[in-house]
Amino acid sequence: MINLYEINKAALSKLLADWGEPGFRTEQMWKWLYVQRAASFEAMTNLPMNLRQRFANEATLGQLQMVSEQNSLDGTVKRLYKLPDGQFIEAVLMLYDDERRTACISTQAGCAMGCVFCATGQMGFARHLTADEIFEQAMLFARDLEAEGDRLSNVVLMGMGEPFHNYDESLRAIRRLMDDLGIGARHITVSTVGLVPQIRQFAGEGLQAKLAISLHAATDNERSALLPINKRWPLRELMAACRYYVEKTGRRVTFEWALIRGENDTPEQAHALGKLLKGLLCHVNLIPLNPTTGYIGGPSAGDTANAFIAALAEYSVSATVRVRRGIDIDAGCGQLKAKVIRSRITKGK
């Protein structure tokens, strides 16, 4: 079966020509795929019945199989998808009062980074996703929103996996989001735990996409305990890469900081962070820690976040608290974890 979300316009044109169809069919079909975003071949009403039937027999609109969908009290939607080889991934759609519709998509099945408070990191690594598998997660949300008279406005590569560990496919997916879904680069964010060579490479891509870095601690000892990658790329090298990125692109870096009660939400940590970031064009996203079964830490309480923000302001570092979404369905930052990551097929059974 031909997955139409995996072929470009030239390949679609060749396919239709091989089927003996006139040239204008390519444009018609492309519009059904990426403008009208039809969910079925039957809906493509200006195509001849015999062509629609042939597509139904020989092609598919995507290859992700939705296993389950959960809906949060705040409107967040989380989907569990099965991949063709039996692996599982999760994707999330967040709805905001300002009419933003943000898809949080995965770039790997599992994750090799091992961040201790992240459910995906706790489950281990299965495999990289292809650019088409990454793209399709956003495409399906965009298609469903279109059917409701709404539109997907933002995409964040913050789901399962480390995008820069799967650099080439993640970048290909970003370009498809821009070209085929019409998502502006400034409405796309890629998040990394701090892979220094890839941060430097990303600076030279010429993209306006946003860069977010999971920081979570301001000293090497404390950060290495939370994010093992820090032992390979310590803060000195990470911050040098961030400064290079800002100098090269003129764009602001966002640092993500999970506020863990009694661990990294103290005044001492806030001042250490302020000193680390002083003078850098950046913003800090404070995220009260979301619960996972594999980590005993809890979210900061009371006015701790406000005190943290005030301390950072002394160093002219801006910070805000991110609105937590989908916590009741384990759809928040760090909570994505497919129940099963390897099928009988991958185990050779």
Give the pLDDT confidence of 113-142 residue by residue, as tens digits.
887 777 666 678 889 999 999 999 999 999
Six-digit token pair at 15? 């396919």
Six-digit token pair at 83? 């991949």
Nearest-angstrom CA–CA distance, 163 and 170: 6
CA-based nearest residue to 32, from 17, 20, 16: 16
Q: Which of 21, 90, 136, 256 is catalytic?
A: 90
Nearest-angstrom CA–CA distance, 234 and 272: 15
DSSP letter at 288?
E
Please say if 136 is a catalytic residue. no
User: What pLDDT score does 299 carry?
Assistant: 58
- The strand pair at 77-82 and 88-95 is best described as antiparallel
User: What pLDDT score does 13 carry?
Assistant: 97
Q: Which of 118, 242, 282, 333 is catalytic?
A: 333
Please say if 333 is a catalytic residue. yes
Domain ranges for the chain, please list them.
2-60, 65-329
User: What pLDDT score does 17 carry?
Assistant: 97
User: What pLDDT score does 20 carry?
Assistant: 96
User: What pLDDT score does 341 carry?
Assistant: 42
Q: Which option is the CATH number for 2-60: 1.10.150.530, 3.40.50.720, 1.10.1740.10, 1.10.30.50?
A: 1.10.150.530
pLDDT in tens, 143-171: 999 999 999 999 999 999 999 999 999 99
List Cβ neighbours of 38 (8 Å cut-off, separation of 6 or more). 32, 44, 61, 143
Low-confidence ranges of the chain (pLDDT < 50): 296, 326, 328-349
Residue 50: exposure state from Cβ atoms within 10 A (0-12, 13-18, ≥19)? exposed
Q: Which CATH superfamily is domain 65-329 in?
A: Aldolase class I (3.20.20.70)
Please list the helix, strand and coil fractions of the chain in percent, rounded to the nearest 5, in that order.
Answer: 40, 20, 40
User: What pLDDT score does 116 carry?
Assistant: 78
